[in-house]
Amino acid sequence: DSGVTQTPKHLITATGQRVTLRCSPRSGDLSVYWYQQSLDQGLQFLIQYYNGEERAKGNILERFSAQQFPDLHSELNLSSLELGDSALYFCASSVGVQLDSYNEQFFGPGTRLTVL
Amino acid sequence: GENVEQHPSTLSVQEGDSAVIKCTYSDSASNYFPWYKQELGKRPQLIIDIRSNVGEKKDQRIAVTLNKTAKHFSLHITETQPEDSAVYFCAGSGQSNYQLIWGAGTKLIIKP
């Protein structure tokens, strides 16, 4: 158990719908990362937050948005869902971001999204 | 732009033999290179990492080597065991905003 929690574990929805995925980082971690992993594919970095502020953006679609709240939990919102959005969505957290220093990312168990 | 290439995409080795996975990076400013292991149906987990001020790092059967001049780094697994079967991802630190640039992954298959 990494200490990172994600809810829900599974989500089945229809095209055109909107869903919200939730992530609680490890206690004390300030950075949260979101990744998308399609079937048998690599990890696609979506977005990163540090202490409530957006820090980095990857290949995140305009239909997707995220935020990190004052209690440091994060939510990933996916709207106007398409079949191709079906994937495993991981959240990861790390201690923080310091100049010239990187820290281990601890991954949550993921949310399996199926769009029908 | 920043890029990390990982080879091979699939690697099959006999149990007990060694496995080597290689990654190359494009950003000469990259200074942190982690390796993550993802077992089937599970989350990725860090297995070893190396920073640019070090050329090699070992942890039991796992080692990582870094060649900054050639801009490549490799994961070495010796005496492979069935539990080493997994997908392995390399990554390199990005130039902007402290993000990691990920390789595409290598599926390692250990044959009994």
The answer to whether residues A42 and A59 touch, using CB atoms and an 8 Å cutoff, is: no
CB pairs under 8 A between A and B: 50
- What is the per-residue pLDDT for B1? 65
The pLDDT tens digits of the residues spanning A32-82 come to 999 999 987 889 999 999 899 998 888 899 999 999 999 999 999 999 999
Average pLDDT taken over every residue of chain B: 93
Structure tokens at B85: 């079967």
Instruction: Find the residue in A nearest to B93 (Cα).
Output: A102
Query: Percent of chain A, pLDDT > 90?
Result: 77
The pLDDT tens digits of the residues spanning B54-102 come to 899 999 999 999 999 999 999 999 999 999 999 999 999 876 556 788 9
- What is the per-residue pLDDT for B95? 65
Average pLDDT taken over every residue of chain A: 92
pLDDT beyond 90 at B2: no
Q: Which residues of B touch A104 (CB under 8 A)?
A: 34, 46, 49
The pLDDT tens digits of the residues spanning B8-32 come to 999 999 999 999 999 999 988 888 8
Say which DSSP state A44 is in.
E
Separation of CA B105 from chain center: 8
Q: How far apart are CA B57 and CA B93, in angstroms?
A: 17
**A5-12: long-range pairs with CB below 8 Å, 24+:** A5/A108, A5/A109, A6/A89, A6/A90, A6/A91, A6/A108, A6/A109, A6/A110, A6/A111, A7/A111, A8/A111, A9/A109, A9/A110, A9/A111, A9/A112, A10/A111, A10/A112, A10/A114, A11/A111, A11/A112, A11/A113, A11/A114, A12/A114, A12/A116
Choose among B43, B94, B96: nearest Cβ to A2.
B43
| B82: three-class secondary structure by DSSP | helix
Task: Match 């201690």 to its residue by tokens.
Answer: A95
Q: How far apart are CA B52 and CA A55, in angstroms?
A: 23
CB contact (8 A) between residue B44 and residue A109: no
